[in-house]
Amino acid sequence: VQLLESGGAVVQPGGSLRLSCSASGFTFDNYAIHWVRQRPGKGLEWVSLISGDGRTTYYGDSVRGRFTISRDNRKNSLYLHMNSLRPEDSALYFCARAPWGGAFDYWGQGTLVTVSS
């Protein structure tokens, strides 16, 4: 099982960014995939989830209405569309696999987002 994030960058406040997570080594559409972030020097914060079939999504309070999670099961890929970015969105963003309601059993290495003017 491998998860590989990409797309992190330096972006100005109010800007947009799309993160990607490429998966391999398992049947991608059998699993819900999450985004979890970690601000510099801080703890883990759950961001968003999408179900295996893409029909169900959840968002954390701090990103709801600004971020959109999506997936393309034909490409074994997960995305996070981030709009109206704020300095407090600066973090290392991980994608992680978890059975519904279960533990995050595999994680990517993360991609860094910096929101700064």
Partner 1 sequence: SYVLSQPPSVSVAPGQTANIICGGSNIGTKSVHWYQQKPGQAPLLVVYDDSDRPSGIPERFSGSNSGITATLTISRVEVGDEADYYCQVWDRSTDHPWIFGGGTKLTVL
Contacting positions for partner 1 (CB under 8 A):
34, 36, 43-46, 49, 58-61, 94, 96, 98, 101-105, 107-110
Tokens of residue 42, six digits = 């801080």
Is residue 112 within 8 A of residue 46, CB to CB? The reply is: no
Q: How far is the CB of 117 from partner 1 (least distance, A)?
A: 27
Comparison of 15 and 66: residue with beta carbon closer to partner 1: 66
Q: How far is the CB of 40 from partner 1 (least distance, A)?
A: 12
115 contact partners, CB below 8 Å, separation of at least 6: 10, 11, 12, 13, 15, 85, 86, 87, 88, 89, 90
Comparison of 15 and 112: residue with beta carbon closer to partner 1: 112
